[in-house]
């Protein structure tokens, strides 16, 4: 009988996959620790000195690492530390939000080289796509003007927008960006730029930024509680970003809370959108960030009442995250003004008791991360860098990208 059932199996690996993984491990060690010698790298990675030497030579030839001045320690031979070369690779990140789009260019170690933003016109992607492609082109040309070899070292374009992805959207729910959800965004961006493109939700992008240059740098288990127009959680599990089966892992804003009889999504109660509604201000106003920041600094009573309500739901969110994922820390990050984010972190304490409440903790259970409207775009740009150079299980597989 002819059995046409699909055969389920993990992809195998080979020598090339192992070599690629070892290169990534080496680069990750340099990213995490700064300059290291061959001997340091061999001890840290548990690879043989010869393997380390061969990989370092390859990375040096590829322009990804460079030797620094030799250092003499004690009576032995001087050691030569190696560091990552920032100009070894570049990537562009794109954020698409309800009313604005931001594009940013970074180098291999996450330095921001140029950035630009543009207001998105009404009408969704039918008019907004052209604005976005012009924005990417502007940043790309500015990058090429700053670094002559950048075009040849561009590893990709990362895009981020609010999720969830691939779900049925009815009506004009402002949290869902329905028109953009239905638009062939990846195909449009790839055709318009000639670059490889990957899409992630804004919470995952913010977590990628925190992992590369922020509070999650060097941590293997962290959850980034993203506070933007909506709210979500970026999951760093086992040292890698976890996105789920459809890219929707961490969509905590969709979680239903029971209040006054009818279930309400978390993001309708504890997000910047809920704050804008509470203040009766227009989220499309270009000055909304500065306005909220000033109101917070002036101890505005409306801000205080919103914080008092929001922290009850945010405490529940942290408790749920800790109970399910057991992270080293939960990081509040996103596009909230810094003054507001700091007030929220202060108001969250004392946190609800949970399995994370350990006596000898070194890292706080809950801490403040990036409070920057550009954090999502930065994380979107960091994603192609991470996919190209960071250790991951996928990098070992024969069918890895």
**Which band of pLDDT confidence, cut at 50, 70 and 90, is reported for residue 1?**
very low
The arithmetic mean of pLDDT across residues 44-53, rounded, is 92
**Which band of pLDDT confidence, cut at 50, 70 and 90, is reported for residue 18?**
confident
| Domains of the chain, each with CATH number or no CATH | 15-84 (1.10.10.10), 88-207+378-391 (3.30.420.40), 217-371 (3.30.420.40)
Give the whole-angstrom CA distance, residue 36 versus residue 26.
10
* Residue 307: how many other CB atoms lie within 10 Å: 19
Q: What is the pLDDT of residue 138?
A: 98
Q: What is the pLDDT of residue 15?
A: 64
- Predicted TM-score (pTM) of this structure: 0.91
Is residue 96 a contact partner of residue 129, using CB atoms and an 8 Å limit?
A: no
Is the pLDDT assigned to residue 17 strictly greater than 70? Answer: no
Q: What is the pLDDT of residue 268?
A: 86
* Helix or strand (DSSP H, E) at 222: strand 222-227
Q: What is the pLDDT of residue 168?
A: 77
User: What does the block give as tokens for 58?
Assistant: 């390859």
User: What does the block give as tokens for 317?
Assistant: 């969110």
């993990």: which residue's tokens?
10
Query: Over the chain, what is the mean pLDDT?
Result: 90
Q: What is the pLDDT of residue 9?
A: 47
Q: What pLDDT, in 10s, does the model give residues 175-200?
A: 678 888 889 999 999 999 999 999 99
The arithmetic mean of pLDDT across residues 296-312, rounded, is 96
The arithmetic mean of pLDDT across residues 81-97, rounded, is 97
Is the pLDDT assigned to residue 13 strictly greater than 60? Answer: no
Give the whole-angstrom CA distance, residue 319 versus residue 326.
10
Is residue 129 a contact partner of residue 183, using CB atoms and an 8 Å limit?
A: yes
Q: What pLDDT, in 10s, does the model give residues 214-263?
A: 999 999 999 999 999 999 999 999 999 999 999 999 999 888 887 666 78
Q: What is the pLDDT of residue 98?
A: 86
Percent share of the chain, pLDDT over 90: 73
Q: What is the pLDDT of residue 10?
A: 53
Give the whole-angstrom CA distance, residue 152 versus residue 8.
38
């Amino acid at each position: 009988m002819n059995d046409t059932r699909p055969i389920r199996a993990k992809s195998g690996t080979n020598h090339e996959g192992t070599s690629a993984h070892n290169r990534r491990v080496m680069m990750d060690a340099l990213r995490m620790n700064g300059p290291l010698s061959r001997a340091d790298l061999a001890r840290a990675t548990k690879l043989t000195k010869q393997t380390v030497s061969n990989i370092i030579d390859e990375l040096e030839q590829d322009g990804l690492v460079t030797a620094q001045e030799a250092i003499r320690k004690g009576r032995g031979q001087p050691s030569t530390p190696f560091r990552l070369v920032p100009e070894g690779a570049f990537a562009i990140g794109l954020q698409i939000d309800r009313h604005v789009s931001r594009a940013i260019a970074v180098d291999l170690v996450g330095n921001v080289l140029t950035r630009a933003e543009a207001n998105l016109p009404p009408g969704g992607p039918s008019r907004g796509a052209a604005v976005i492609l012009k924005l990417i082109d502007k940043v790309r040309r500015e990058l090429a003007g700053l670094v002559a070899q950048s075009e040849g070292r561009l590893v990709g374009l990362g895009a981020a927008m609010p999720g969830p992805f691939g779900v049925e959207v009815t009506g004009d729910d402002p949290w869902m960006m329905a028109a953009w959800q239905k638009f062939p965004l990846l195909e449009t961006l790839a055709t318009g730029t000639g670059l490889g493109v990957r899409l992630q939700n804004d919470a995952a992008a913010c977590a990628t930024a925190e992992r590369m240059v922020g509070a999650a740098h060097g941590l293997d288990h962290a959850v980034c509680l993203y506070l933007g127009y909506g709210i979500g959680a970026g999951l760093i599990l086992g040292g890698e970003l976890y996105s789920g089966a459809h890219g929707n892992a961490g969509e905590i804003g969709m979680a239903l809370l029971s209040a006054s009889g009818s279930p309400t999504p978390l993001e309708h109660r504890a997000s910047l959108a809920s704050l804008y509604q509470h203040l009766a201000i227009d989220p499309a106003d270009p000055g909304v960030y500065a306005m909220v920041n000033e109101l917070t600094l002036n101890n505005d009573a409306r801000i205080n009442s919103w914080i008092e309500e929001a922290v009850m739901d945010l405490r529940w969110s942290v408790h749920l995250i800790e109970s399910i994922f057991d992270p080293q820390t939960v990081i509040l990050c996103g596009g909230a003004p810094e003054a507001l984010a700091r007030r929220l972190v202060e108001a969250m304490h004392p946190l609800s008791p949970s399995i994370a409440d350990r006596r000898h903790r070194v890292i706080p259970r809950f801490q403040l991360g990036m409070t920057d409207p550009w954090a999502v775009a930065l994380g979107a740009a960091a994603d192609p860098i991470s996919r190209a150079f960071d250790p991951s299980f996928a990098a070992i597989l024969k069918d890895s990208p």
